[in-house]
């Protein structure tokens, strides 16, 4: 077993000396012992523990009507989604590296990929990404592998959280990034131009063809009523609006799709459909250009897994809602958002958007006071963008009564 030890005695001594420690015990003495500071109550029976936890939960503020968006949306989730996804076959299953014993999960992922392709208008999709932020950053790296250029142009109007993740990739990688408000005429020096649609402020963006690759961070819920971004080369986004509860901000999953000619550069895992030796339908992992399977320097990414359970929930959502149900939810969201915007305009609160789906920016005298007033009436009124601007979202979950209450409070 000596061959498998990470460090020799000499290496450990040198490492300890570098941090001014004589032994491993000295090293760990510097770590606060938080366990001894815990003030635990006396042991409880299961019944007593349940009652105690329920009493604690009642201290939470509940019953708020939410008009929050900004990347996480309160959407209707059919009850069957959680019922099926929480079955032990899916909830406790390990990631499907062994196709012969994972046909159910692999089929679900294949269906997920097919649905993403149909929604985005792309030719191929992967099995999902960790989240939309990393999907956007990975799409940028993908564009650089395709074009051999190491500079990218990104819209200033993307979600600030996506920006931070992209900046981290820039810091760790060997490429440059320019941010734009107005698209420049000359794009030949860039590997890609990156948009968000609708953008962070809710505005629907016209995706134009360019003389470089076009990456679109696309709201999947908006595709219920909007045309897919046909001029895009790579489309990424979050599946959260498709059957994933808000869940305190996560976990969610990203999706990623592209044109067929770029599929060899698509990171992550992909599931394909084939037939076995008896001619029966079978599913298996395919095009595995990941560092697990090929030389590390030739790998497309270190994204070697996916969000299988979340992708399953999204697949269940689309299956249960169907094309008509998905479109109906999108239409309801758009109608409720535009109704709220119109009613706010009628009372002198201006909407700053020209075209929007379910999210828009309003201008008020004092954002803090406005949100405070709404909260006093059990309404989470939106996200403060500045002292005078609030980002507001309405979905199919916001009734006309909720909208009238919002307006009447102001």
Instruction: Read off the DSSP letter of residue 361.
Output: E
Burial zone of 297 (CB within 10 Å; 0-12 exposed, 13-18 middle, 19+ buried) = exposed
Q: Which position has the token pair 């209450």? A: 405
User: What is the C-alpha separation between 324 and 228, in angstroms, rounded?
Assistant: 17
Q: What is the pTM of this model?
A: 0.86
Cα separation of the two ends of the chain:
71
3-state secondary structure of 48: helix
Q: Could you tell me how far CA 190 lies from the centroid of its own chain?
A: 25
Query: 380, 391 in Cβ contact below 8 A?
Result: no
Distances (CA, A) of 250 to 28, 238, 246, 350, 366: 33, 11, 7, 32, 30
User: What is the C-alpha separation between 396 and 335, in angstroms, rounded?
Assistant: 9
Cα torsion through 336, 340, 345, 346, rounded to 10: 100
Query: 283, 106 in Cβ contact below 8 A?
Result: yes
Q: Which residues pair with 285 in a beta bridge?
A: 271
pLDDT at 60 (0 to 100): 86
pLDDT digit string, tens, across residues 349-396 = 999 999 999 999 999 999 999 999 999 999 999 999 999 999 999 999
Residue 147: left (phi > 0), alpha (psi -120 to 50), or beta?
A: alpha
User: What is the C-alpha separation between 276 and 100, in angstroms, rounded?
Assistant: 10
User: Could you tell me which residues come within 8 angstroms of residue 186 by beta carbon, excluding any fewer than 6 positions away?
Assistant: none
pLDDT at 8 (0 to 100): 84
pLDDT at 26 (0 to 100): 87
Structural tokens at position 214: 């076009």
User: What is the C-alpha separation between 83 and 320, in angstroms, rounded?
Assistant: 12
Domains and CATH numbers, the chain: 65-77+322-409 (3.90.1150.10), 79-316 (3.40.640.10)
pLDDT at 36 (0 to 100): 67
Burial zone of 244 (CB within 10 Å; 0-12 exposed, 13-18 middle, 19+ buried) = buried
User: What is the C-alpha separation between 74 and 251, in angstroms, rounded?
Assistant: 14
Q: Which residues pair with 392 in a beta bridge?
A: 360
Which residue ranges of the chain lie beneath pLDDT 70? 1-5, 33-37, 93-101, 289-296
Q: Which position has the token pair 């008009």? A: 67
User: What is the C-alpha separation between 226 and 204, in angstroms, rounded?
Assistant: 9
Bridge-based pairing state of the strands 151-155 and 192-197: parallel
pLDDT at 1 (0 to 100): 46
Cβ–Cβ contacts within 10 Å for residue 163, how many?
Answer: 18
Q: Which position has the token pair 């209707």? A: 76
Per the prediction, the chain carries an average pLDDT of 91
User: What is the C-alpha separation between 321 and 247, in angstroms, rounded?
Assistant: 21
Q: Could you tell me how far CA 40 lies from the centroid of its own chain?
A: 37
């Amino acid at each position: 077993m000596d061959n498998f030890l990470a460090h020799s005695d000499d290496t450990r001594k040198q490492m300890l000396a570098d941090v001014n420690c004589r032994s491993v015990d000295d090293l760990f003495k510097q770590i606060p012992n938080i366990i001894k500071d815990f003030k635990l109550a006396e042991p409880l029976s299961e019944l007593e523990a349940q009652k105690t936890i329920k009493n604690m939960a009642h201290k939470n503020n509940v019953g708020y009507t939410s008009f929050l968006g900004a990347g996480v949306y309160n959407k209707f989730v059919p009850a069957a989604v959680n019922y099926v996804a929480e079955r032990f076959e899916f909830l406790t299953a390990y990631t499907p590296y062994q196709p012969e014993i994972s046909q159910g999960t692999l089929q679900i992922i294949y269906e997920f990929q097919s649905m993403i392709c149909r929604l985005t208008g792309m030719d191929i999709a992967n099995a999902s990404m960790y989240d939309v932020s990393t999907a956007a950053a990975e799409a940028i790296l993908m564009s650089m592998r395709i074009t051999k250029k190491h500079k990218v142009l990104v819209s200033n109007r993307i979600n600030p959280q996506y920006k931070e993740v992209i900046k981290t990739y820039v810091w760790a990688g060997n490429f440059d990034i320019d941010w734009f408000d107005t698209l420049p005429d000359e794009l030949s020096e860039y590997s890609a131009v990156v948009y968000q649609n609708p953008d962070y402020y809710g505005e629907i963006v016209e995706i134009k063809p360019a003389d470089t690759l076009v990456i679109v961070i696309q709201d999947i819920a908006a595709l219920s009523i909007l045309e897919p971004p046909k001029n895009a080369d790579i489309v990424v986004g979050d599946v959260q609006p498709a059957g994933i509860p808000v869940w305190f901000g996560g976990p969610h999953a990203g999706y990623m799709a592209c044109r067929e000619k770029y599929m060899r550069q698509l990171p992550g895992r992909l599931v394909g459909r084939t037939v076995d030796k008896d001619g029966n339908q079978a599913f298996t992992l395919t095009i595995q250009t990941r560092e697990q399977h090929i030389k590390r320097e030739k790998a497309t990414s270190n994204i070697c897994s996916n969000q299988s359970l979340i992708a399953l929930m999204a697949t269940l959502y689309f299956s249960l809602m169907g094309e008509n149900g998905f479109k109906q939810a999108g239409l309801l969201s758009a109608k409720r958002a535009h109704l709220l915007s119109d009613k706010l305009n009628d009372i002198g609160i201006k909407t700053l958007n020209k075209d929007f789906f379910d999210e828009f920016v309003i201008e008020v005298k004092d954002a803090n006071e406005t949100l405070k007033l709404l909260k006093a009436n059990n309404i989470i009124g939106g996200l403060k963008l500045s002292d005078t601007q609030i980002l507001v979202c309405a979905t199919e979950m916001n009734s006309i009564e909720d909208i009238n209450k919002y307006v009447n409070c102001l």
